[in-house]
């Protein structure tokens, strides 16, 4: 066992605080990673505040992890000491079901083991990336291309893949009109990736405060949805809408912005239900779908795509003592566009 420094939650209401956690011994197929940077995802906040349901405390979150391999197990072939690697939202899956065999481990029929707040193979609760080290099965470790700046790479492991996957699946590309609802951590990556795929991108954000950034990321339009009648003017506009908002929205109003046979894909994960009128789907034969991160093979594809297209998240680097403040700023949408923790401060 390795005892490592971390920063975690001891209850759903207390601030996060420094603590230590145990990492398992490096097994034959394991990789020990010295974590350098960890991104702060809104899912971390939903989780520690028990908005998605009860969890076991203490809990360390963080599933946007980059660092260096410092030890490998005797049977590891994919990674070597010194490699720059990443870990996202999953650390294991059954490896045998039809979904795992397809490379869609996020949809493992046995349920994948998440990077934090999941029951691991040994019965312990997985602990996430706000820590100095992690031990992970080599199959769930990604290679982070050198072309991506180190501290900017971390958010790709969740925000990057969660937006790349539905954009790829629903065919964002030349000739397609894509709207991104909410320009936070996920949303700003959706914009950059959809632009790189060749789509015409519109940002639907509450106020004009992110307009200049949206256009700088390559969007052709920015609409302030807080303005009266803004959505009505967009009726029938988009082939694909990616909703990245962390709170419930009037989905009927957003479905109305789709062209006939268009799709609205929800990646935002508010704890509350999203009511929809069936007529918003029937009229125009529209689809309402969800999307859950992405498989390991597709995550590597996304990292390579970002390296090739020179895409990286916009980040604000913080020390561990600012994690609680960062949470409040995420909740206030006062982040441009992802906080990244320098784990040297843990």
Q: Enumerate binding residues for Zn ion (CB under 5 A).
A: 41, 43, 158
Q: How far apart are CA 177 and CA 190, in angstroms?
A: 13
Q: Is 174 exposed, middle or buried (0-12, 13-18, 19+ CB in 10 A)?
A: exposed
Instruction: Say how many C-beta atoms besides its own lie within 10 A of residue 70's C-beta.
Output: 14
Beta-sheet pairing, 238-243 with 177-181 = parallel
Residue nearest to ligand NAP (CB): 184
Among 100, 186, 255, 306, indicate the residue that binds ligand NAP (CB under 6 A). 186
Q: How far apart are CA 173 and CA 203, in angstroms?
A: 16
Contact 145, 304 (CB under 8 A): yes
State in angstroms the smallest separation of the CB of 203 from ligand NAP: 7
Q: Is 114 in the site for ligand NAP (CB under 6 A)?
A: no
Among 128, 160, 185, 295, indicate the residue that binds ligand NAP (CB under 6 A). 185
Report what 210 binds from Zn ion, ligand NAP, none; CB cut-off 5-8 Å by kind. Answer: ligand NAP
Beta-sheet pairing, 238-243 with 221-224 = unpaired
Task: Give the binding range for ligand NAP (CB under 6 A) out of 3-11, 176-184, 234-242, 273-281.
Answer: 176-184
Report what 94 binds from ligand NAP, Zn ion, none; CB cut-off 5-8 Å by kind. Answer: none
Report what 184 binds from ligand NAP, Zn ion, none; CB cut-off 5-8 Å by kind. Answer: ligand NAP
- Long-range residue pairs from 268-273, CB within 8 A, at least 24 positions apart, any chain: 268/181, 268/182, 268/186, 268/243, 268/244, 269/43, 269/46, 269/52, 270/245, 270/246, 271/46, 271/51, 271/52, 272/247, 272/248, 273/248
Binding mask 187-206 for ligand NAP (x = CB under 6 A): x-----------------xx
Beta-sheet pairing, 84-87 with 65-72 = antiparallel
Report what 166 binds from ligand NAP, Zn ion, none; CB cut-off 5-8 Å by kind. Answer: none
The smaller minimum CB distance to ligand NAP, of residues 106 and 300, is found at: 106
Report what 247 binds from Zn ion, ligand NAP, none; CB cut-off 5-8 Å by kind. Answer: ligand NAP
Report what 39 binds from ligand NAP, Zn ion, none; CB cut-off 5-8 Å by kind. Answer: none
Q: Which of residues 252-311 bind ligand NAP (CB under 6 A)?
A: 267-270, 291-293
DSSP string, 150-176: HHHHGGGGTHHHHHHHHHHHTT--TT-
Binding mask 14-53 for ligand NAP (x = CB under 6 A): ---------------------------xxx--x-------
Q: What is the size of the binding site for ligand NAP (CB under 6 A)?
A: 29
**Token pair for 283:** 């009229």
Cα torsion at 108, 109, 115, 119 (round to 10°)? -160
Q: How far apart are CA 181 and CA 75, in angstroms?
A: 44
The smaller minimum CB distance to Zn ion, of residues 26 and 323, is found at: 323
The CA–CA distances, whole Å, from 64 to 225, 305, 341 equal: 30, 18, 10
Cα torsion at 215, 159, 263, 194 (round to 10°)? 40
State in angstroms the smallest separation of the CB of 38 from Zn ion: 11
Q: How far apart are CA 152 and CA 156, in angstroms?
A: 8
The smaller minimum CB distance to ligand NAP, of residues 30 and 213, is found at: 213
Q: Is 247 in the site for ligand NAP (CB under 6 A)?
A: yes
Report what 315 binds from ligand NAP, Zn ion, none; CB cut-off 5-8 Å by kind. Answer: none
Q: Is 163 in the site for ligand NAP (CB under 6 A)?
A: no
Task: Give the binding range for ligand NAP (CB under 6 A) out of 27-35, 68-76, 238-246, 321-329.
Answer: 238-246
83: Cβ–Cβ under 8 A, 6 or more apart, which residues? 68, 69, 143
The smaller minimum CB distance to Zn ion, of residues 41 and 193, is found at: 41
Q: Where do contacts with ligand NAP occur on this chain (CB under 6 A)? A: 41-43, 46, 158, 162, 182-187, 205-206, 210, 244-247, 249, 267-270, 291-293, 330, 333
């Amino acid at each position: 066992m390795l005892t490592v420094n971390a920063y975690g939650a001891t209850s759903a209401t207390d601030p996060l605080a420094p603590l230590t956690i145990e990492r398992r011994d490096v097994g034959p197929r394991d990789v020990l990673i010295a974590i350098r940077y960890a991104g702060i995802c809104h899912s971390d906040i939903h989780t520690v505040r028990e908005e998605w349901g009860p969890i076991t405390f203490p809990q360390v979150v963080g599933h946007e992890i980059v660092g260096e391999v410092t030890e490998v197990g005797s049977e590891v072939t994919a990674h070597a000491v010194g490699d720059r690697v990443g870990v996202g939202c999953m650390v294991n899956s059954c490896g045998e079901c039809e979904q795992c065999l397809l490379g869609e481990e996020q949809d493992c029929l046995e349920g994948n083991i998440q990077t934090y707040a999941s029951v691991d193979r040994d019965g312990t609760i997985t602990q996430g990336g706000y820590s100095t080290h992690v031990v992970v099965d080599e199959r769930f470790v990604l290679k982070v291309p050198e072309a991506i700046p180190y501290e900017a790479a971390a958010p790709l492991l969740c925000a990057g893949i969660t937006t790349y996957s539905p954009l790829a699946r629903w065919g964002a590309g030349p000739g397609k009109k894509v709207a991104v609802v909410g320009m936070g951590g996920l949303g700003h990556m959706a914009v950059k990736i959809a632009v790189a795929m060749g789509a015409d991108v519109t940002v639907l954000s509450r106020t004009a405060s992110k307009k200049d950034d949206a256009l700088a990321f390559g969007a052709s339009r920015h609409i302030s949805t807080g303005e009266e009648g803004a959505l009505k003017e967009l009726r029938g506009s988009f082939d694909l809408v990616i909703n990245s908002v962390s709170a419930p929205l009037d989905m009927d109003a957003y479905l109305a912005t789709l062209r006939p046979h268009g799709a609205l894909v929800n990646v935002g994960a508010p704890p509350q239900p999203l009511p929809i009128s069936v007529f918003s789907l029937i009229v125009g034969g529209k689809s309402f779908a969800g999307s859950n991160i992405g498989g390991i093979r597709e995550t590597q594809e996304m990292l390579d795509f970002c390296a090739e297209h020179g895409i990286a998240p916009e980040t604000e680097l913080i020390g561990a003592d600012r994690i609680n403040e960062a949470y409040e700023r995420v909740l206030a949408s006062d982040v441009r566009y992802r906080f990244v923790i320098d784990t040297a401060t843990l």
